[in-house]
Amino acid sequence: MPLDSPKLLVTPSLPTALGTRERLEIPGSDLLVLFVHNVHVLPDAIKEDKFCDALVATLAVYPHAAGRLKREGDNNDWHIALTNSPVPVFVSVCDDDAVVPEDRVVQDDNSRLLPHSRVVVTNADEPLLRFKITNFRRTGETALGISWHHVLGDAYALLCFTHTLSSFYQGLPSPYPQPTFAKHFFSPPPIDPATVSTFEAIMPHLVNDYDRVGLIEKLTKMLEETEQVHLRFSKSQLEEIRDRVHQDAVDGETFSRQDCLTAYLVTVLTRVLDVPVQRVITVLNYRNISDRPFAHSNLAGNSISVTFSSIIAADDVLSLSAIARAVRASITRARDPEFEEMWMTFASYYMKRTADADRSPWYGPDEGEANVNSNYGFDWNAAHFGFPGRARFYTAFLLDRQFRVFRANPTKLKDGTWVSNEGAVDVAFRIWREAAEKAADVVRADFGGDGHDSVIFPTSTRPS
């Protein structure tokens, strides 16, 4: 069998959750035309027959994952053809001494653990979901690489899919309600200049798009000029940050742990960059903010929006409470159903316009801004395939001044025992090369006296 051929081809059991439907129409809000790549590492082997049986059942619950992406007609109508096509599972053996080089969630490069997915999937007979099982001969561990096309759903949808797959593998029911595929098509946006101007100003990443050459140029420049920084904060350190933020809070004012962590990280950037951060951009999940159809809690799709904080005053760029207040206010506004539905009305329009033109958005922040994309609320290691407390989760890719936040993985010690790292988080971001070590030094100095010297991971030396 050629190296690039899957060992296993898995189709959903019939009937699926979508019955005899032949297509699933896709709104603009789902048109994120790229793959998401995750890796789950398990301490022992996956039984291939059990995995296939679990995948058969999971695809019956999420049958769009076995479909094909189509774009048709003069209006570029997008849909997933519900073809119940085979999902490929590649299998390989590796003799490396370690599955990943660093004990952190965000790695430099996971490509050797992932199935090949650098393909055009639109109007092609190409899977939207691919797996790769890598058996590590020396350690006995298994890496399960997943490439999931974003048009299938966002991080929460992928978590539900993977956790369901893990549960079925163990002979357990899915821990989630049956997903809904009732896609919401937002109305065309208003055309009055005042409303257009207001909303275009808070979604520049969607209004301005790029062709492939322009996107690669921006990405290459960013990679050449920036370096990765990786941090881990223990549960006690997160509480210390929260206490610091609330020292200057007004009476009755409370902030979430993520608000406080964001505020602290913003001050780290401001202390090492020439231009202070005066605006924070937060990626949000708007599921269940109301009972309106667009906010369905169990949607198998994308329910993502982006909110911009107000401009933080120059005198407040190092004030933890002022930054947390600006972040919380922007999130509160974004969770207002009236505002969010109008925001998504414009966003859906621009996302479809970009996809129709075969162009791409750029999600990197502008100068004086920072971006937060947090998975703090997601327990990726709940998908443990029968190895609770010993499964680990990895992903890759960072943008300049974009904070990616994940729950820390458990750590395996040399004697074979495990440390849970419960309550700890991993944070990763890119920053100008000249400032990367300075940022690490700032955090090291802030926490240098509490006995947790391992908060700093070595900065990456790779240009990826």
- For the record, the structure tokens of 334 come out as 């974004």
**Which residue is associated with the tokens 């048009």?**
151
Backbone angles phi and psi of 233, in degrees to 5? -115, 125
**Residue 3 clears pLDDT 50, i.e. is over it:** no
Segment 175-189 mean pLDDT:
96
Predicted pLDDT of residue 6: 85
Q: Tell me the pLDDT band of 451, cut-offs 50, 70 and 90.
A: very low
**Residue 83: C-alpha distances to residues 120, 157, 181, 327 (Å):** 18, 20, 16, 43
pLDDT for 242 beyond 50: yes
What pLDDT does 115 receive?
95
pTM score over 0.75: yes
Each residue's pLDDT tens digit, 302-322: 999 999 999 999 999 999 999
* pLDDT above 90: percentage of residues in the chain: 91
Q: For residue 119, name the pLDDT band (cuts at 50, 70, 90).
A: confident
Q: Say if residue 421's pLDDT is above 50.
A: yes
What band does 453 get if pLDDT is binned at 50, 70 and 90?
A: very low
Q: Which domains does the chain have, with CATH numbers?
A: 8-169 (3.30.559.10), 193-378+398-455 (3.30.559.10)
* Closest residue by Cα to residue 89 from 170, 1, 178, 175: 1
| Cβ neighbours, 10 Å, residue 3 | 7
- For 26-54, the pLDDT digits (tens) are 999 999 999 999 999 999 999 999 999 99
Helix (H) or strand (E) holding 339: helix 337-356
Confidence of residue 461 (pLDDT cuts 50, 70, 90): very low
Indicate whether 450 pLDDT > 70: no
Q: In this model, does residue 64 exceed pLDDT 80?
A: yes
pLDDT tier at 361, thresholds 50, 70, 90:
very high
DSSP state, residue 386 = T
